[in-house]
Amino acid sequence: MRLERRSHTPVALLLGAPALALLFTLAVTSLLVAWAGAPVGRAYALLLEGGFGSRFALTETLTRATPLIFTGLAAAVAFRARLYNIGAEGQLYAGALAAVAVGGLHGGSGFAAPAWLLLPLMMAAAALAGALLLLGPAWLKSRLGVDEVVTTLLLNFIVLLFVSAMLDGPMKDPTAMGWPQSVAVQDTLQLDKLVERSRVHTGLPGALAAAALTWAVLRFGVAGFEIRATGANARAAAFAGVPVRWVALKVALLSGALAGLGGAVEVAGRAGYVTLDMSPGYGYSGIVIAMLALLHPLGVVAAAVFVAGILVGADSMSRAVGVPTYIADVIVAVALIAVLVATMFTQYRVRR
Amino acid sequence: MAGVTAAPVLRLQGICKSFGELRANVDISLELARGEVLALLGENGAGKSTLVSILFGHYVADAGTIEVDGRPLPPGQPAAALAAGIGMVHQHFALADNLSVLDNVMLGTEPLWWPFSRRAAARARLLEVATRFGLTVAPDAPVGTLSVGERQRVEILKALVRGARILILDEPTAVLTPQESEALFATLGQMVAQGLSIVFISHKLGEVLRVSHRVAVLRAGRLVADLSAADADATMLAEAMVGRRIAPPVKRAHSPGPVLVRLDDPPLALHAGEIVAVAGVSGNGQQALADRLCGLGGRGTLRLAGQVLPSRPRAFVEAGVARIPEDRHAVGAVGDLPLWENAVLETYAAPAFARAGVVRRDAARAFAHDVLERFDVRGGTLDTPARALSGGNLQKLILGRALSGAAVTGEPPRLIVANQPTWGLDVGAVAYVHQQLLDAAAAGCAVLLISEDLDEVFALADRVAVMHRGHLGEPRPTADWTLPAIGLAMAGSAPDRAETADAA
């Protein structure tokens, strides 16, 4: 048996493959649900209801999906150019910290600038912080061949420790009764709620706009063409005259900026301040989401909503039937593997 | 044709094999006599490899039978094919460089449960076989230190030591110098004289006619000719392979213009309107020279029409350098991108195709359409990924992209750097590429052709330089070279030194 590349993929297969992957995922995880002693059908029904079944569930899912879209885009863009940025988690925190530094109420008062000026400044600072954080590893990779997986991953821990130092030091909120949290961003800079009595904020349309813009750049832009060519075959791109090193740096800036923006939006849209547990691994989930989306920026939106829905739904299911919430991680992980295998079958066929 | 006897050692009967829609082999029947050299000819994709893979047990035929010495060969079992005495020498050697010749020959011949390997016996057998067929080797030499010709001998010995009586040689001369090829042909003669049978796969018609007794031609999966080599000639075989008449490239008189290109290290001057070939065995520094002339960096200064070109691909493209890389799949094109994007890969940043950071899709697609049309690229539409193209069509696309740069940058091609432009292409595509190079030279372009194919070098070049161990010799008019002289130069003995040796 061997795999053979398909010359073209039937449309039915292209649409059917993800559906089959999802069914496979549910079948596999149902074994675990049954093992935990819960009725499988009811557990899945609760999961679906808890993630998407009510106004509250839906708004919670969308709230959770917002930072995931940003980190998913960050991973998708970088992976397209074969820059394996595992550091979105750190870039997200760096962005959050930068947002507080620009928009925070230091010593009870912040920069006295109107919100229409300060808000873009805050976002730009966050994007810049994330971008600069990835620039180092990207430069080391293109100049010295240092593996960016290692450098970006390790930077996450450095950033987290740095955040911890800041939260206990210069950016500590004096009114938080010793709790390690940063000062809050000014009220005028906090993002508006999108829906009454919910936590969904205007960061969501921001995330959607970022996805659309990323898609447009990749599909229509000169930069996108360079990124796709470099990612698909760097040698051929370099031979043809694509400035591959410069492209790698541009990708790093874009990817880091997206993750940094995610951090700023999460701070300004939810708590208003930075804590050390602000992100339950949004950066790492972003990698999974990008892979689930097959590195397509618009697919990232769908994948982020899917993953957020599973996470939120698993919370409520676990309360009702007593299956540990870890089931959500298992579902996402199995779905990732299933989608990757399904994708392989859309591009290859098995021959005997 | 001495030694050919009546009873066939190998008989293929009605072999059919399909891959989905593609019919790779259709009802192929062939016989191979004892002591016979059968040449198997065909373009890429004609079904040669499929047929050989079936013979060797890698594929199972949909229909048909194989008999060796009158006994049916069980399908799909490489071990059975080996046991029946079928041996294969691949074009790309499968040797371990760090092991000795003896170790390489023994590799895989002994069961793993033997506590000690029987080296003395294996050495005796190796030397016996080597002497019998005139294949001199040093059993203890590490394979890494051997020349290409010697490595090929080791590969042949591997097959012979395992008792092969039917030897399949896949493009055996592709990597050899003319002298090494001669030595190989002598070996083949000795092998058939002792009753071995040989299937010789090649696309060099001259040598096919020389060494084989019989020629079988495959086209589109069918056997279209099976005739005695004595009754065949090169033109006829070429036509049988492609199914139509091939016009041989028309070479025009050598009338060089002024010096157009000057490289100082290694010193090289190219005149407008001439084709200069760099011959040599692969791996003698041609890649570094090609990289230098393609703007990928390297030593020395390159002047085009007196102007120093900065060593960047884009500067070269904009100055009118058309570049054809050796590896068309890995370097010439981005396989996952569609044809239209590949067509503008060198020029996408030019104002014709980019405005305010956005690709001018319509203009780029129109340009790509024009390239596909004018350079006869078949097998795909604008949106087909480049990897779906055959080698010949991909090469036409790369050629078209390089030669059409003028439409974008306004600079007509002034220098063409073609590194092995016809490697692995079929006869029709080769003729096409050759004609394009000749036409460009006739139009006043300087052409640098790096090639390992001496037929190509002699057919196209006005002047020929030989490269050996990184040293580029002085280009001399093609008429001044003889085949033995160029062979000696490729093997590293300078022609003048050889002449002195003759005089002494």
Within a domain: A237: yes
Q: Please count the structural domains in chain A.
A: 1
In a domain, B194, yes or no: no
Residues of B in contact with A220 (CB under 8 A): 358-359, 361
Closest to B214 in 3D by CA, of B1, B497, B356, B450: B1
Q: Do B330 and A221 touch (CB under 8 A)?
A: no
Lowest mean pLDDT among B75-79, B273-277, B344-348, B444-448: B75-79
pLDDT in tens, B446-500: 999 999 888 889 989 999 999 988 899 999 999 899 888 888 888 877 554 444 3
Whether the CA torsion B125, B126, B127, B133 is positive or negative: it is positive
Tell me, yes or no, if A5 comes closer than 8 A to chain B by beta carbon: yes
> Among partner residues B294, B333, B354, which is closest to A236 by beta-carbon distance?
B333
Determine the residue type at A174: P
Chain A hits for B359, CB-CB cut-off 8 Å, are: 220-222, 225
Residues of A in contact with B331 (CB under 8 A): 235-236, 239
Alpha-carbon gap, residue B240 to B427, rounded angstroms = 11
CA distance A288 to A72: 8
Q: Using a CB-CB distance cutoff of 8 angstroms, which residues of chain B are in contact with residue A237?
A: 334, 345
Across the interface, whether the CB atoms of A232 and B312 are under 8 A apart is answered no
Residue A18's pLDDT is 82
B interface test, pick of A219, A239, A352 with most B CB neighbours within 10 Å: A239
> Taking 80 as the threshold, does the pLDDT of residue B3 lie above it?
no
Beta bridge partners of B359: B354
Distances (CA, A) of B148 to A262, B94, B139: 58, 12, 16
**Chain B residues whose beta carbon lies within 8 Å of the beta carbon of residue A239:** 294, 296, 313, 323, 325, 331-332
Instruction: Tell me if A221 and B313 make a contact (CB, 8 A cut-off).
Output: no
Q: Domain for residue A28, yes or no?
A: no
Q: Indicate whether this model's pTM tops 0.95.
A: no
How far is the C-alpha of B22 from the C-alpha of B43, rounded, in Å? Answer: 16
Torsion of CA B102, B106, B107, B112, to 10 degrees: -140
- Per the CB < 8 A criterion, the answer to whether B226 and B31 are in contact is no
**Hey, of B287, B291, B292, B334, which one would you mutate to test binding to chain A, going by the most A CBs within 10 A of its CB?**
B334
CATH number of the structural domain spanning residue B463:
3.40.50.300
Contacts of residue A275, Cβ cutoff 8 Å, sequence gap at least 6: A167, A180, A181, A182
How far is it, in rounded angstroms, from Cα B464 to Cα B479?
9
What's the rounded mean pLDDT across residues B91-115? 86
Q: Is B133 left (phi over 0), alpha (psi -120 to 50) or beta?
A: alpha
Please answer whether residues A116 and A148 qualify as being in contact, where contact means their C-beta atoms are separated by less than 8 angstroms: no
Domain containing residue B288: 259-320+411-503
Cα distance between residue B138 and residue B100, in whole Å: 9
The first and second tokens of residue A180, run together, are 């390690």
Chain A CB contacts of B337 under 8 Å are: 228-229, 232
Nearest CA-CA distance, residue B190 and chain A, Å: 39
CA distances from B31 to A170, B62, B124, B193, B226 (A): 88, 19, 34, 18, 10
| Distance separating the N- and C-terminal Cα atoms of chain B | 40
The C-alpha atoms of residue B42 and residue A160 are separated, in whole angstroms, by 64
**Is residue B430 in a domain?**
yes
Neighbours of B229 (CB within 10 A): 19
**Overall domain count for chain B:** 1
For B452, what's the count of Cα atoms within 13 Å in the CB-facing half-sphere?
18
Answer yes or no: do B357 and A236 touch at CB < 8 A: no
Q: In the predicted model, what is the mean pLDDT of residues B14-31?
A: 88
- Smallest CA–CA distance from B385 into chain A, residue: A7
**H or E segment and range at residue B324:** strand B321-324
Asked if the structure places residue B492 within a domain, the reply is yes
The answer to whether B337 contacts A220, with C-beta atoms less than 8 Å apart, is no
* Residue recorded with tokens 């939120």: A312
Q: What is the pLDDT of residues B390-428, one digit of tens each?
A: 888 899 999 999 998 777 777 778 999 999 998 878 778
Please give the residue of chain B at the shortest CA–CA distance from A221: B358
- Residues with Cβ within 8 Å of residue B213, at least 6 apart in sequence: B1, B4, B36, B37, B38, B228, B229
Residue of chain B with shortest Cα separation from A240? B346
- pLDDT tens string A302-332: 999 999 999 999 988 988 888 888 999 999 9
**Window 7-46 of A, Cβ < 8 Å to B:** 7
Distance CA A213, CA B252 (A): 56
pLDDT beyond 70 at B501: no
Decide if A229 touches B, using CB distance below 8 A: yes
Q: Which of A7, A220, A239 is closest, CB to CB, to B388? A: A7
| Domain presence at residue B477 | yes
Helix (H) or strand (E) run with residue B71 in it: strand B71-72
Q: What is the pLDDT of residue B423?
A: 81
Residue B139 contacts residue B179 (beta carbons within 8 Å): no
The reply to whether residue A232 touches residue B387, judged by beta carbons under 8 angstroms, is no
Burial of A2 (0-12, 13-18, 19+ CB in 10 A): exposed
**How buried is A347 (Cβ within 10 angstroms: 0-12 exposed, 13-18 middle, 19+ buried)?**
exposed
Q: In the prediction, which pLDDT does A352 show?
A: 61
Q: How many residues are recorded in chain A?
A: 352
**Amino acid symbol at B225:** A
Indicate whether A127 belongs to any domain: yes
Instruction: Please give the single-letter amino acid code of residue B344.
Output: V
- All residues at 6 or more sequence positions from B310 whose CB lies less than 8 Å from its CB, including other chains: none
- Asked if B313 and A228 come within 8 Å (Cβ–Cβ), the reply is no
For residue B313 the two structure tokens come to: 């691909």
Interface of B with A (CB under 8 A): 19, 294-296, 312-314, 316-317, 323, 325, 330-337, 341, 345-346, 348-349, 354, 357-359, 361, 387-388
Contact B313 A229 (CB under 8 A): no
Measured between its terminal Cα atoms, the distance across chain A in Å is 4
A:236-265 residues touching chain B, CB 8 A cutoff: 236-243
CB of A157 less than 8 A from some CB of B = no
Task: Name the amino acid, one letter, at A290.
Answer: A
Closest CB from B331, B334, B387 relative to A229: B334
**Residue numbers in chain A where pLDDT is lower than 50:** none
Residue B453 within a domain: yes
Within a domain: B82: no
Enclosing H/E stretch for A23: helix A11-35
Q: Can you tell me the ipTM of this complex?
A: 0.86
Query: Does residue A238 form part of some domain?
Result: yes
Query: b/e string for B36-48 if b means 16 or more Cβ within 10 A?
Result: bbbbbbbbebbbb
3 state DSSP class of B30: strand
The residues pairing with B477 across neighbouring beta strands, listed in sequence order, are B463
Is beta strand B275-279 parallel, antiparallel or unpaired with respect to B446-451?
parallel
Q: What is the mean pLDDT of residues B275-301?
A: 89
Task: Specify if B220 maps to a domain.
Answer: no
The single-letter DSSP state of residue B11 is E
Q: Would you say B172 and B204 are in contact if contact means Cβ atoms under 8 Å apart?
A: no
Say if the Cβ atoms of B359 and A222 lie within 8 Å: yes
Q: How close, in Å, is residue B452 to chain A by CA atoms?
A: 22
Q: Note whether A235 contacts B312, CB cutoff 8 Å.
A: no
Q: Tell me whether residues B349 and A228 touch, CB distance under 8 A.
A: no
Can you read off the two tokens belonging to residue A256?
């880091």
Better pLDDT: A131 or B45: A131
Percent of chain B with pLDDT over 90: 47
**CB contact A225 to B (< 8 Å):** yes
Pick among A9, A82, A219, A222 to test the B interface (most B CBs inside 10 A): A222
Report the alpha-carbon distance of residue B266 to residue B73 in Å, rounded. 56
Residue B56's pLDDT is what? Answer: 87
In a domain? residue A21: no
Tell me how many residue pairs between chain A and chain B have CB atoms under 8 A apart.
Answer: 68
Write out the residue range of the structural domain in which residue A215 sits. Answer: 37-323
Q: Per DSSP, what are the bridge partners of residue B333?
A: none
Does A277 reside within a domain? Answer: yes
Which amino acid, residue A344? Answer: M
> How far is B8 from chain A, CA to nearest CA, in Å?
31
Half-sphere exposure of A11 (CA within 13 A, CB side): 0
Measured between CB atoms, which of B313, B325, B387 is closest to A241?
A: B313
Mean pLDDT over residues B305-312, rounded?
Answer: 91
Give the CATH number, domain containing residue A94.
1.10.3470
Is A221 within 8 Å of B358 when comparing Cβ atoms? yes
Cα A209 to Cα A214: distance, rounded to the nearest angstrom: 8
In this complex, do B317 and A235 lie within 8 Å of one another by their Cβ atoms?
no
The Cα A156–Cα A171 span in angstroms is: 19
Nearest CA in chain B to A228: B337
Report CB contact under 8 Å: A237, B345. Answer: yes
CB atoms B314 and A241 under 8 Å = yes
Structure tokens at B160: 């012979």
Q: Which residues of B touch A236 (CB under 8 A)?
A: 330-334, 345
User: Dihedral, CA atoms, B478, B482, B485, B490, nearest 10 degrees?
Assistant: 60
With beta carbons under 8 A apart, name residues in chain A contacting B290. none
Q: How far is B315 from chain A (nearest CA, A)?
A: 8
Per DSSP, helices labelled H in A193-296 are 203-220, 222-232, 234-240, 244-269, 282-292
d(CA B230, nearest CA chain A) in Å: 41
Per-residue CA distances from A108 to A104, A175, A177, B312, B327 (Å): 9, 10, 15, 56, 65
What burial class does residue A219 get, using C-beta atoms within 10 Å of its C-beta: 0-12 exposed, 13-18 middle, 19+ buried?
middle
Nearest CA in chain B to A218: B358
Nearest C-alpha of chain A: how many angstroms from B36? Answer: 34
Instruction: Provide the pLDDT for residue B276.
Output: 95
- The three-point CA angle B432-B438-B443 to 5° equals 125
